[in-house]
């Protein structure tokens, strides 16, 4: 997460920045309206704290400019004035949140962490499918036609490699590199033996293999 703090009071800027750094986020501080506006428009910030009164300048102008330019940064207004009119004006300009100064450091940390959870995209699990086989790479669950298949960690790694390259021959030396590293000789029978065991576990019938040998080259999932 990248965070921008636009605050003309040095102690207050350092106070907010320390909370940002306590969360492990990258923080930039700008103490002028012009500088803050320039950084917000040019930088790719996830969150920005903006003092609504920057000396004689109005921090709401920064918010307005950012939203006019399509900046999607989560904007938090900092203000010593918490009247309804002040809040209404900030939100009308495009602010996402409003904090009244002084703000306790612990509250800033909790607020930042909560916002970061909301902003962080939830990664979609990697699901591999083919020939009735479904592998959830994240949970390591393997099913075929709905039935759970119990595989060793190495067998799962081997299956995932082949399924990621479905319908393409994976050379034996590539399999060795990805599944065993430098631990075995590509010419040994270790790969062949592991493929044989994996085939048997994945098989539902006598003529039901999903892993096929390409002679003198490698193996293919199809």
Are both 181 and 105 inside the same structural domain?
no
Are both 150 and 115 inside the same structural domain?
no
pTM of the model: 0.57
Are both 168 and 210 inside the same structural domain?
yes
Residue 57 pLDDT: 63
The last residue of one of the domains, among 119, 140, 174, is: 119
Domain of 21, in residue numbers? 2-119
Residue 183 pLDDT: 67
Q: Is the pLDDT of residue 83 over 90?
A: no
Query: Beta-strand (E) ranges in the chain?
Result: 2-6, 26-30, 47-51, 53-54, 57-58, 74-79, 97-100, 127-130, 133-136, 141-144, 147-148, 170-171, 211-214, 218-221
The last residue of one of the domains, among 92, 119, 146, is: 119
Residue 179 pLDDT: 87
Are both 162 and 103 inside the same structural domain?
no
Residue 53 pLDDT: 79
How many domains, in total, are found in the chain?
2
Q: What is the pLDDT of residues 8-24, one digit of tens each?
A: 899 999 999 999 999 99
Are both 164 and 85 inside the same structural domain?
no
Nearest to 116 by CA among 79, 78, 74, 71: 74
Report the chain's mean pLDDT, rounded to a whole number. Answer: 88
Are both 217 and 157 inside the same structural domain?
yes
- Would you place residue 123 in the very low, low, confident or very high pLDDT band (cuts 50, 70, 90)? low
Are both 76 and 154 inside the same structural domain?
no
- Would you place residue 206 in the very low, low, confident or very high pLDDT band (cuts 50, 70, 90)? low
- Would you place residue 169 in the very low, low, confident or very high pLDDT band (cuts 50, 70, 90)? very high
- Would you place residue 187 in the very low, low, confident or very high pLDDT band (cuts 50, 70, 90)? low
Are both 24 and 109 inside the same structural domain?
yes
Q: What is the pLDDT of residues 124-139, one digit of tens each?
A: 788 999 999 999 998 8
């Amino acid at each position: 997460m990248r965070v921008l703090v636009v605050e003309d009071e040095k102690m207050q800027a350092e106070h907010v920045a320390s909370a940002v750094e306590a969360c492990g986020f990258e923080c930039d501080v700008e103490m002028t309206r012009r500088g803050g506006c320039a950084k917000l428009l040019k930088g790719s910030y996830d969150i920005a704290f903006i003092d609504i009164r920057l000396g004689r300048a109005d921090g709401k102008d920064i918010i307005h400019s950012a939203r006019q330019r399509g900046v999607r940064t989560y904007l938090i207004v900092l203000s010593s004035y918490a009247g309804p009119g002040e809040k209404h004006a900030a939100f009308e300009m495009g602010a996402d949140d409003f904090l009244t100064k002084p703000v306790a450091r612990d509250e800033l940390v909790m607020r930042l962490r909560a916002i970061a959870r909301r902003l962080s995209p939830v990664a979609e699990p990697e699901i591999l499918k083919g020939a009735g086989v479904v592998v959830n790479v994240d949970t390591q669950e393997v099913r075929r036609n709905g039935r759970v298949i119990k595989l060793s960690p190495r067998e799962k790694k081997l299956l995932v490699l082949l399924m990621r390259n479905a319908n393409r021959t994976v050379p034996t030396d590539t399999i060795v590199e990805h599944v065993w590293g430098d631990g075995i000789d590509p010419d040994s029978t270790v790969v062949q033996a592991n493929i044989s065991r994996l085939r048997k576990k994945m098989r539902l019938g006598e003529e039901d293999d999903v892993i096929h040998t390409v002679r003198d080259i490698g193996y293919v999932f199809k």
